[in-house]
Structure 1
Amino acid sequence: MLRILTLSTLFPDASRPNFGVFVEQQTRGIARRDDLDVRVVAPVGLPPWPLTLHPHYRARAHLPRHEQWRGLDVIRPRFLNLPGTGGRFHPRMIAAALASKLERLRAEFPFDLIAAEFFYPDGPAAMRLAERFDVPFSIKARGSDVHYWANNPKTQDMCLAAGRAAGGLLTVSDAMKRDLVTLGLDEARIERSLTGVDQARFHPRDRAAAKAKFGVSGPFVVALGSLTPNKDHSMVIDAVAKLPDVTLWIVGQGFEQPMLEAKIAEHGIGDRVRLTGPVPHADMPELLAAADAMALASRSEGLANAWVESLASGTPIVIPDVGGAREVMREGAGFIVERNADAFAVGIAAVLAEPPETESVVAAARPFTWPANAEHLSDFYHRLVAAHRGQRVSHL
């Protein structure tokens, strides 16, 4: 049995239950296997006191430092988040905060590998820690962790150094793999690791009954994602403004909320466009199954979990040609459209006018399962650990 230390700066907690929920789902999947034992380290970045008293940080400052989270053993060490530094010190601060804690943890859990779940800051932090403890490490590339941090002059060198030092790299799509190769990383050391979806929870339901539960009637579109520039919900608002009688719910939170509220007011569509805020992940299956379409106008993606969860729910998607869009889309599952409001309006209208067969939509999600994801990860981790042990023997 291999002992895997999952390192993730995005991981759900009581104050942010949807924060990195896909990492939690993946980790629970590998934890179910008989050949892997897993512990989670989810560092929490906090600014110096008294900034921790700010409402943005207050709840995080009071999170337990060690807890059982939905069946997973999770350690939540604090690291120093210096405001105004653009995150460029995060890997160093994380490694410094974890070093002594992992020394103690190794006495009871002698981990064989560190699995960094985001390219930055997790990857460079894992590189420092792996060297200290003489274990291999892997890094998973998911989207903005590469598109932003690996192209940011302040953090690019750290991302590339970690990518070159890692025992192996994972991506959520072939498109992400190509992005890493373009950055100069070795293609032979990069593998695609398809995300999963819990198809026992995300599945088609009686759409009319689901709509009624949410108090919606008529054509219903959902957009899932943080209220940030990359998700570009303003484009979907502009599109729905061209489609009378269509109700749009935008599910998520973020600093663009005031701008989006102003956009809705500008169009005069506040009676049919709603910013819901975050919705508990447990309620997401029924909401997605209620929608006639899920529209997400992201500027960039790796392979969005929202796409796959929507398809599994029998809800067609309207998305731009970004990241792994072409790896997900199948005929009859929705449309890939140009990234502008007119094209989104046409795509949404087409789905509403001629709804695809539910079976065609669900079929596009069938390859994405957590057991398949866990099986590949187990094989990948075993290979990395075996290679590292072989290198150690050859150096003796």
Structure 2
Amino acid sequence: MTLNILMLSTLFPDMSRPNFGVFVERQARELASRAEAHVTVIAPIGMPPWPLSNAARYAPLRALPRKERWKDMTVYRPTFPIIPKFGGRTNVYSMTRAILPLVRRLHEEKPFDVIDASFFFPDGPVAQRLSRALGIPYSVKARGADIHYWGARSGTRKMVKRAADRAAGLLAVSAAMKRSMARMGIEDDKIRVHYTGVDLDRFELADRDAAKTALGFEGPVALCVGALIPRKGQELLVRALPHLPDVTLLMAGQGQYRRTLEKLAEELGVDRRIGYLGSVPHDRLPRIYAAADVMALVSASEGLANAWVEALACGTPIVISDVGGARELVDRPEAGRIVERDPEAIAAGIQALLDNPPDRETVRETALRFTWGTNGDVLLEHLQAVAHGETPPA
């Protein structure tokens, strides 16, 4: 019997933001490829009230179709009102109010069996309200900032906890994330670890020298893949560069924090050794990973970063901070180094890998257990149990 799944995700790519939540999209595609699953995606888009909505930055979002076929899936993109920088907790109410008529109509046409919320906030509390309105169970997945940030804020912590308590099942992107949830008082037995996947056919070994030549890189290269935001720790990488005189630092990602990083690099005299690649299309990342000697991402918090797994799949060792599922991934010296969030410690970790490069096949072996096939198997099994009123395996 086919399971009719409503996937709710505020992190989902569109034509104007092809990299936005690409890992959620890939998970949805894997699930939808199963004969036992029918997936409808609702990816709400927050828009500020007029006249703020007329700002140029919102023009691409205004132009998006409200319903489309996106890589063999039906995706709805209803809008809901937000208050930029201050909305937070009000987004739950405004999103629910905006999308509930659509959800009711779709449910009347073909009843949903279960709701799969892809992120804990605001998706989780919204799924809770939709569940009550439709009379069907829901599951929520914790990925990182949704627990570490929204689950810690006074205005939203209770909403996150309530959504967890009333869910029929929960997922966590790593065992470390599961422990963080348990420390919040969330029932441990309800939480199943659900690792991300990586496309091992796309993220594969390639000749590093040839990749460097093709991209115009020279000498040792450290790559950072992540949005340019303070939490991702690029400032610490810039501060580490004076201790790595021969290394070029490349940053793949975009964000307003770039201005701060550029100013700091100039002050430290390392600006000529930093390259800003902007938002790199996901299908072009493998070649950049292949050209890098090290991938460094020293975030203040993570669940289990896709960039970690993708780099390893390309045979590129990683230097990362001791956050989230870091120790679940770096389970052998060849995979890389877990370091303190300190410029000198970061530099030492990068230099150690440059001085003694690990065998790239061995590096890649670390990522082989993270497949999208396994990810889809676990998710389908979990949602089937939730829909049938059974206790999902932890």
Q: TM-score, normalised by structure 1?
A: 0.96
Cα distance in structure 2, aligned partners of 1:248 and 1:70: 34
CA contact (8 A) 1:135 1:388 kept: no
Q: Following superposition of structure 1 onto structure 2, how do residues 1-396 of structure 1 map, counting pairs within 5 Å?
A: 1-331=2-332, 332-387=334-389
1-side partners of 2:110 and 2:230: how far apart?
Answer: 41
CA distance in 2, matches of 1:154, 1:291: 42
- Of 112-121 and 264-273, more deviation after overlay is shown by 264-273
Paired with 2:128 and 2:262, the residues of 1 have a C-alpha distance of 42
Is 1:136–1:388's contact at 8 Å kept on the other side of the alignment?
Answer: no
Q: Return the alpha-carbon distance in structure 2 between the equivalents of residues 277 and 6 of structure 1.
A: 30
Output one character per residue of 1:351-382: Cα deviation in whole Å (capped at 9) or x when no partner: 11111001111011011000001001111011
Distance 2:254 2:55 in 1: 18
Q: Tell whether the 8 Å contact from 1:338 to 1:344 is kept in structure 2 after alignment.
A: yes
Structure 1: how far apart are the matches of 2:98 and 2:152?
A: 26
- Any conservation in 2 of the 1:297–1:320 contact (CA below 8 Å)? yes
Q: CA deviation at 1:292?
A: 0.5
Does the aligned pair in 2 maintain the 1:77–1:98 contact within 8 Å?
yes
Contact 1:220 1:292 in 2 (8 A): yes
How far apart are the structure 1 equivalents of 2:94 and 2:362? 48
Counterpart of 1:151 in 2: which secondary structure?
A: coil
Shift of 1:86: 3.8
Shift of residue 101 of structure 1?
Answer: 0.5
Gap regions ≥5 residues in structure 1:
390-396
**SS in structure 2 of the partner of residue 67 of structure 1:** strand
Question: Displacement of 1:275 after TM fit?
Answer: 1.8
Larger mean Cα displacement after TM superposition, 293-302 or 105-114? 105-114
Q: CA deviation at 1:110?
A: 1.8
User: Which whole-Å CA distance do the structure 1 matches of 2:10 and 2:28 have between them?
Assistant: 14
* Cα distance, 1:257 vs structure 2: 1.2
Q: 1:108 to 1:285 in 2, by over 3 A?
A: farther
Whether contact under 8 Å (1:120, 1:159) holds in the other structure is yes
Q: Which runs of 5+ in 2 are unaligned?
A: none
Q: By how many angstroms is 1:70 displaced?
A: 2.0
AA matched with 1:350 = A
What code does the residue aligned with 1:177 have? K
2:246 partner letter: D
Decide which moves more: 368-377 or 101-110: 101-110
Superposed displacement of residue 57, structure 1 = 1.6
Deviation at 1:290, TM superposition (A): 1.0
After the TM superposition, which of the residue ranges 268-277 and 225-234 deviates more from structure 2? 268-277
Question: Does 330-339 or 130-139 show the bigger shift?
Answer: 330-339
AA in 2 matched with 1:165: R
What is the CA-CA distance between 1:109 and the residue it aligns to?
3.1
**Separation (CA, whole Å) in 2 of partners of 1:321 and 1:114:** 33
Deviation string for 1:149-203 (max 9, x for gaps)?
A: 0100011111011010001110000000000000001001001001100000001
Deviations 1:202-229 (A, max 9, x none): 0110111111111101101110111111
Distance in 2 (CA, whole Å) between partners of 1:169 and 1:152 is: 20
Aligned residue for 2:151, secondary structure, equals helix
Q: Distance in 1 between matches of 2:261 and 2:279?
A: 15
Task: Provide Cα deviations, 1:63-108, integer angstroms capped at 9, x if missing partner.
Answer: 1101111222110000011235341111111111111111221233
d(CA) in 2 for partners of 1:17 and 1:108?
30
Residues of 1 paired with 2:96 and 2:366: CA distance?
A: 40
Matched-pair contact (CA < 8 Å) for 1:227–1:256: yes
Displacement after TM superposition at 1:388 (Å) = 6.9
| Whole-angstrom CA distance in 1 between matches of 2:70 and 2:268 | 43
Deviation at 1:255, TM superposition (A): 2.2
- Secondary structure at the aligned position of 2:256 is classed as coil
- Cα separation, 1, equivalents of 2:72 and 2:211: 30
**Range with greater deviation from structure 2 (126-135 or 273-282):** 273-282
Structure 1 distance, partners of 2:100, 2:244, is 55
